[in-house]
Structure 1
């Protein structure tokens, strides 16, 4: 993990909590006078999600320390949560996966006809590690061994991203052509996530794509023979270039959480972020970033995923992320010396890229309105207009 000095909230300054509760008035904790909103509305995935649970974990701490009431709004529909953040503006900040934000910005799928609005990252929320697992007594020891042939790969038919990960991203990581994939790999459909993972200890598949934080992996680790994880070498740039071609927003990383057999193994992470529209008040983003950082020790134990909001983890994510960070957050990160000149260059590139997508999509919607064409991803006439305006634009993908 990248080494740097991380300022912490001195215990001697705990008396400042009183000033914070009054609304930051003349508080030494703030670089300038600023009152956080009395009500902070945060959109998250549904009530069964870790994002919802972990946000509910730190929200009471925020209220105790600042007087701001955080209302957490669970919204299972990603498109609806996006509209509430960017169009209706009845939520202030949203917990969203980096992959979903790419869909929102580039107008992929149902977002094609939605109002395009530039967004910015306010803080890192959480990350889910993923990797390829085999039975403990499997002859498959490395990723290269998957090219020996006759390998059965569990395919989560219930999830398009998981199907893409194993049917397209995995062969690309291995450098296999379509013909070689057909010859060497056999895809075994699984109707649920649990069935997908258990297939390797039940002898139904040789390898499965799983998240080591899942409870089913704990069961599998305790099964006769146990399990092993295949190392996805972080230094193998050619292999990762292939994988990211199909799963562009995942981040290659050393797995540090979940079952013990996965820790220390190179795999990948799917990141969730707290995001806001680009035009969100800079002082709001600055003060949220400052609170997330300085109060980390106060809220980190409220939920397991809250530990992933550490500034060090955010710092590591910045080395890979292709998404622009809010100006207020940048200002704070500069203050604490964890924002570099290279970060600034990358951020400006990301802003320019996002602006190009937003401008192109706005032009597509305008042409559609002028021609009275329904703006829908199900409308071929609109999609022809959409594709004309967005053709040639570079897609977002994690940096290696």
Structure 2
């Protein structure tokens, strides 16, 4: 064999070996795939339903799959994003779809963060939220906030919670920015528990809280108790205003959580388990498979664990605006709950995310070239970011 032919044969053999290696990694499912030795899952703080429910199923997963499972409470959403996408010391993050939108579009504190594509691997829960006040408060309806002199807790630790209190609530009430500044005063809170407790501690009059979180049960038992302010589902104009600032939520009746909240008209915010888009397909596939096949084992571990049923996930997919991981899609197709129509909207979601991340990276590159500090507090940088993202369609629930 000539030297030339030998070189070509070696190149061909190497190419085939690489293709087989890549292909083999893509189809290593079930018994052929070995889960990571350590699974690190980031959640909101210890007072959150996200933390409690993840701790509910984790021991069963560890027993079934042999992976050490560590749940890391991280109350700061931006820090949890950083740990998942940049530091990579989290394998999975439990995150609200609202915060994922902020991460993708670079809203608030995320403006200068590293743009990294993410994918959903499973539905975590559809958390009910609403506005709560003290049981002995003079506020009887949410419309009473228009009278003025009302202190509203504003969670500084989470951009979506900041938006809900400072922007979405006034918009629901039909207030202009000037009216909101005149009639409402905002009380900063550095953690979720502080945000909610501020009501019963007399530091605020109204707080935006999830009815399923442990701190609400504690507040319900406080002297005077608590009361929830109903948000009329038929108030189309009010909801249009609210969704302008919180486009990922869905108006709904609260059916989960503390007794004082049940039957009150509020809203639902979905939490999902997310991974970087480059997470192994086989990993996502096997996680999805376990979440589905082991549901009966862990569904009673926490009330929110029952919301991890594949039927709940399927219902979420009917309005999901965020892309699902290829490994999860492969599994959902196998069990017959993924359709051709899902392929269409999911591909659109992938392309939309790519456009946003590409535009934001271009803004960061331009800022660096011009020695402009990339910060949401820097007006010059925000002008650059606005220029690059102008005209991009924002993420919004497919209602």
Q: Which category of TM-score, normalised to the shorter sequence, fits these structures?
A: 0.7 to 0.9
> What is the CA-CA distance between 1:123 and the residue it aligns to?
0.9
The residue that corresponds to 2:306 in the other structure is 307
The residue that corresponds to 2:283 in the other structure is 284
The residue that corresponds to 2:42 in the other structure is 44
Q: Contact 1:133–1:230 at 8 Å: present in 2 too?
A: yes
For 1:4-15, list aligned pairs within 5 A: none
> What is the CA-CA distance between 1:156 and the residue it aligns to?
0.6
3-state SS in 1 of match to 2:330? helix
Q: Contact 2:154–2:186 at 8 Å: present in 1 too?
A: no
3-state SS in 2 of match to 1:241? helix
3-state SS in 1 of match to 2:32? coil
Q: 1:57 to 1:158 in 2, by over 3 A?
A: closer
The residue that corresponds to 1:94 in the other structure is 93
Q: Contact 1:109–1:377 at 8 Å: present in 2 too?
A: yes
Equivalent position to 1:155, from 152, 157, 172: 152
TM-score, normalised via structure 2 length: 0.76
> What is the CA-CA distance between 1:122 and the residue it aligns to?
0.7
* 1:31-85, Cα deviation, whole Å (9 max, x unpaired): 7653142324323146625334433332221122122333434445544433343
The residue that corresponds to 2:391 in the other structure is 392
3-state SS in 1 of match to 2:286? helix
Query: By percentage of residues, which structure has more helix?
Result: 2
TM-score, normalised via structure 1 length: 0.75
Q: Contact 1:197–1:216 at 8 Å: present in 2 too?
A: no
Aligned residue pairs: how many? 365
- Structure 1 residue runs of 4+, over 6 Å off? 135-141, 222-226
3-state SS in 2 of match to 1:298? helix
The residue that corresponds to 1:172 in the other structure is 171
Q: Contact 1:190–1:196 at 8 Å: present in 2 too?
A: no
Unmatched 5+ stretches in structure 2 = 1-27
Q: Contact 2:41–2:90 at 8 Å: present in 1 too?
A: yes
> What is the CA-CA distance between 1:381 and the residue it aligns to?
4.2
The residue that corresponds to 1:354 in the other structure is 353
Root-mean-square deviation (CA), in Å? Answer: 3.6
Q: Contact 2:131–2:228 at 8 Å: present in 1 too?
A: yes
The residue that corresponds to 1:10 in the other structure is none
Q: 1:215 to 1:364 in 2, by over 3 A?
A: closer
> What is the CA-CA distance between 1:266 and the residue it aligns to?
2.7
Equivalent position to 1:198, from 187, 200, 204: 200
* 1:302-343, Cα deviation, whole Å (9 max, x unpaired): 334323322233233333332111122122223333334443
Unmatched 5+ stretches in structure 1 = 1-29
Q: 1:279 to 1:157 in 2, by over 3 A?
A: closer
1:35 correspondence with 2:33: yes
Deviates more, 1:174-183 or 1:324-333: 174-183
3-state SS in 1 of match to 2:56? helix
> What is the CA-CA distance between 1:99 and the residue it aligns to?
2.5
The residue that corresponds to 2:245 in the other structure is 246
